[in-house]
Amino acid sequence: MFRLTDFNFHNKTVFLRVDLNSPVENGRITSDARFKAILPTVKHLVEDGGKVVIGTHQSRPYKGGYITTEQHAEILSELLGQEVEYVEDIFGKLARDRIRSLKPGEVLMLENLRFSAEEVFYKPMEDCEKTFFVRKLAPLIDYVVNDAFATAHRSQPSLVGFARLKPMVMGHLMEREINALSRAYESDEKPRVYVLGGAKVDDSLRVAENVLRKEKADMILTGGLVGHVFTLAKGFNLGDANLEFMEKKGLLELVDWAERILDEFYPYVRTPVDFAIDKDGERVEVDLLSDEKWLFDRYPILDIGSRTIEKYREILMKAKIIVANGPMGVFEREEFAVGTVGIFRAISESEAFSVVGGGHSIASIYRYNITGISHVSTGGGAMLSFFTGEKLPVLEAFRVSYEMFKKK
């Protein structure tokens, strides 16, 4: 795959695809974490004298946070220390004229790519290549640099459509992500521990199945709704209140799948031994085997309990490789962040090479100032897809582009 150091970008027009999709409250972006993550790539291109055209998406139609990229340009301007001009267009005449007039070292931010209907659908590379977006912009571009790891599991025009038309190059963030995830996945160091939490239960089941079957993991620790599903699969009752919630979320239909994983790999999947419930606004811990478990009928489980945290901690402190995705509970409420913070602190204190990803995981790491994790991934869904063993469309596009242009 091509790297930034393979090319001289002086006086060349570069389409830089990034993922600056950020949390928005009351119309304002509330985190600059993803902006800081792509800064090394933007600086590299600017210092090389490239004419930089940035494309990003923000949210999706009819969802919260679906705003223009005007703020994105302002935030990036401040961090970069030079103007990033916002153009209220994607591939129309206004955008094309502005791209043509760019001077070396200038940076342009296109409008939210998902304002274009073509960018909302997932299509094969060949279809993406035929879109208006790609056909209109390709003649103006010399190189495509992709630093949008968080969307590497998607096949959309801006992500894969240029691969056979222009050299497609990994940005610094993309390269760092792939190196870290590959190191964790391919490592022979043992024990290798995967911590699967959060609400993306089907993705987590795919990860569990893949890494156990391919002998990439020695132990899986579960929490959040993933832990709930595996706990039910082991034959424990989580009570009426929690079963009702899981049924509404469509999670009960995943219990059979979790059971099949346990049948094949039972000793290697650990589930919580106690949980924290919200009893009238207070954190109350209930052991799964105690007489108090009737409380699960009335009160929602919002975190793992202290005994589980301690048991998981012992395993994590002996690990050589740790991969973690998703929180252990509802970390947004301080009294139910105990599990998530406890597990991530254990990971940070372990001597293992550790990779942690997922939007909620990252938010809790920053919120509780947890340091010492080897690699914090910018992509939750992309990271999970990587560890399921699936081919990621953007990584395939890099390979295709490399094969097409390496001799040139």
Give the CATH number for residue 319.
3.40.50.1260
Residue 383, domain member (yes or no): no
What's the full length of the chain, in residues?
A: 408
Say whether both 278 and 352 belong to one domain: yes
Is the omega angle on the peptide bond into residue 393 within 30 degrees of 0, that is, cis? no
* Domain identity same for 165 and 199: no
pTM: 0.92
**Angstrom distance (rounded) from CA 193 to CA 359:** 20
HEC profile of 28-74: EECCCHHHHHHHHHHHHHHHCCCEEEEECCCCCCCCCCCCCCHHHHH
Together in a domain, 190 and 89: no
pLDDT at 383: 95
| 82 and 144 share one domain | yes
Contact 148, 394 (CB under 8 A): yes
User: Can you tell me the mean pLDDT for 223-236?
Assistant: 98
Neighbours of 10 (CB within 10 A): 12
Q: Based on the domain organization, do 211 and 65 belong to the same domain?
A: no
Residue 220, strand partner residues: 194, 269
Q: Kind and range of the H or E element at 160?
A: helix 157-160
Mean pLDDT of 130-146: 98
- DSSP class of residue 391 equals P
Whether residues 212 and 323 fall in one domain: yes
Q: 85-124, pLDDT tens digit by residue?
A: 999 999 999 999 999 999 999 999 999 999 999 999 999 9
Cβ proximity of 161 and 137 under 8 Å: no
Taking only Cα atoms into account, the Rg of the chain, rounded to an integer number of angstroms, comes to 23
Q: Within a 13 Å sphere around the CA of 14, how many CA atoms are in the beta-carbon half?
A: 32
Same domain, 222 and 161: no
Mean per-residue pLDDT of the chain = 96
- pLDDT bin (cut points 50, 70, 90) of residue 405 is very high
Residue 398 CB-half CA count within 13 A: 22
Q: What percent of the chain is predicted at pLDDT more than 70?
A: 100
pLDDT band at 271 (very low <50, low <70, confident <90, very high): very high
Residues 196 and 298 in one domain: yes
Give me the residues paired with residue 107 across strands: 52, 84
Token digits for 175?
A: 């390269």
Examine the pLDDT at 380 and tell me if it is beyond 90. Answer: no
Residue 384 maps to a domain: no
Q: How many domains does the chain have?
A: 2
Tell me which residue range forms the domain holding 164: 2-170+391-405
Which residues have C-beta within 8 Å of that of residue 260, sequence separation ≥ 6? none
Is residue 105 a part of any domain in this protein?
yes
Same domain membership, residue 350 and residue 323: yes
